[in-house]
Amino acid sequence: MAGRWRNSLCWSDVTPRAAYLNRRQIMAGAGALALGGIAGQGRAATGADDLTPNSWDEITSYNNYYEFGTGKEDPRRNAGQMVTDPWTVEINGLVDKPGSYDLADILSGVTIEERLYRFRCVEAWSMVIPWQGFELADLLTRVGVQPGAKYVAFQTLHRPAEMPGQRSPILDWPYVEGLRLDEAMHPLTIMATGLYDKPLPNQNGAPLRLVVPWKYGFKSIKSVVRITLTDTQPPATWNQTNPREYGFYSNVNPQVDHPRWSQATERRIGGGLFAGREPTLMFNGYAEEVSQLYAGMDLAKFF
């Protein structure tokens, strides 16, 4: 069904019902229950039935944000220094209305929704995160994508005075990422502004970060200050740092291993010391929604 994710699970709805209802059943809502819809339904192909959100503490204390250090607990400790108000996003390149947009302007023209998404880091850990945000497509449509545009480039804030990691050449700053235009326009692709109904903490990429749930976490670039529509594939920080290990696409794929570790399984943060690893799902569980974007592509080659 087109746009299934539009009414996607509200995080506030899924506990404890998610323990025994699959996504279709929840989406179908009370009507289906009245019609006795439970018994005959199979598991959703995406395995969305067991999405129990990680806690606020887990999501905000175990982070990757190298601008604030390479340790998982560094971002929470150091990101408080980053000033996120005022915040402007430059939108330029192949758009009808380029400009420097104040965050408030951007937010006034979009609809903020809840999206409960799986999140899978290339390092093979995962979480389930109750984001608030808006569809990137809404913003791109508003600024007018010109016919020649094929890719969208993103850039993180570059402010070494507030981002201690940027004072060392850990990565080639500022952090940049990119998507193909059709990936950027996909309804699953959001710009997150909050989680658990609170503003996004700095360590999670305040005040505005990309979330592309079927790709490895590093594609979900934080604290975005520039969005550029281009006709050529833009540079992406991890891909440029080590193209053999990190592809431009970086779709979650249990069949394509990282050169140094398997991607077949993952460790769910908060799962407990003795919890087993879980199987990693193709496109992180969103195959039904996104696999047609890659029809005919060799996913081992375009990894």
Cβ distance 221 to 156 under 8 Å? yes
Q: Which is nearer to Mo ion, 51 or 121 (CB)?
A: 121
By CB under 5 A, residue 238 contacts Mo ion? no
Q: Where is 76: in which H helix or E strand?
A: helix 74-78
The dihedrals phi and psi of 118, each to the nearest 5 degrees, come to: -70, 150
Give whichever of 145 and 252 is closer to ligand MTE, judged by the CB atom. 252
Q: Does 263 bind ligand MTE (CB under 6 A)?
A: no
Residue 5 contacts Mo ion per CB under 5 A: no
- The reply to whether 121 sits near ligand MTE by the rule CB under 6 A is yes
Tokens 């375009």 -> residue: 302
| Nearest distance in Å: CB 276, ligand MTE | 22
Q: Taking CB under 6 A as the rule, does residue 221 contact ligand MTE?
A: yes
Is residue 246 close enough to count as binding ligand MTE by CB under 6 A? no
The reply to whether 121 sits near Mo ion by the rule CB under 5 A is: yes
Tokens of 109: 């023209």
Kindly report the three-state secondary structure assignment for every residue of 93-143: ECECCCEEEEHHHHHHCCCCEEEEEEEECCCCEEEEEEEEEEEHHHHHHHH
SS3 163: coil
Strands (E) located in 4-124: 88-93, 99-102, 113-120
Q: State the binding partner of 204 from Mo ion, ligand MTE, none, CB within 5 to 8 A by kind.
A: ligand MTE
CA atoms within 13 A on the CB side of 60: 17
Give yes or no for residue 156 binding ligand MTE (CB under 6 A).
Answer: yes
Under rule CB under 5 A, residue 194 binds Mo ion? no
With CB under 6 A as the contact rule, the residue among 204, 228, 250, 263 that binds ligand MTE is 204
59 touches Mo ion (CB under 5 A): no
By CB under 5 A, name the binding residues for Mo ion.
Answer: 64, 121-122, 217-218
By CB under 6 A, name the binding residues for ligand MTE.
Answer: 63-67, 121, 156, 175, 204-205, 217-218, 220-222
